[in-house]
Amino acid sequence: MEENQEQPIRVRTPRGKEILAIVEATLGANKLKIRCQDDKYRIGRIPGKMKKRIWIKEGDAVIIEPWDIQGDKFANVIWKYTPAQSEWLRRKGILVL
């Protein structure tokens, strides 16, 4: 293979009720202020299984799933993108924030 040729990147995309979002601020106690792609701001919660394994900071691209009750205000964080993956999403026009 040539060195200039890029390797294909596999990127997880939102499915069903999931929405792409950008982390605006960390609020402490595993909570985040998130700007979603549907032009709403939500409070995101990092579930326990992700809390110790993944560090999420301001500016990170994430996938969220709004709650069934009060879904316009609260959501769970499902996935965090790496910087290379989020750049790929922006280039392809999928992440527009």
The reply to whether 10 falls in a domain is no
Asked, for residue 12, whether it belongs to a domain, the answer is no
Q: Is residue 76 included in any domain, yes or no?
A: yes
Beta strands in 1-97 (DSSP E): 19-28, 31-36, 41-45, 61-66, 74-80
Confidence band, pLDDT 50/70/90 cuts, at residue 38: confident
- Report yes or no on 3 lying in a domain: no
Output the six-digit token pair for 20.
């792409």
pTM for the model stands at: 0.82
pLDDT tens for 6-17 read 666 678 888 898
For residue 30, give both structure tokens: 């595993």
pLDDT at 34: 94
> What is the domain-level CATH number for residue 76?
2.40.50.140
User: Would residue 13 count as lying in a domain?
Assistant: no
Expressed as residue numbers, the domain containing 71 is: 19-91
44 pLDDT tier (thresholds 50, 70, 90): very high
Number of domains making up the chain: 1
Q: pLDDT at residue 37 above 60?
A: yes
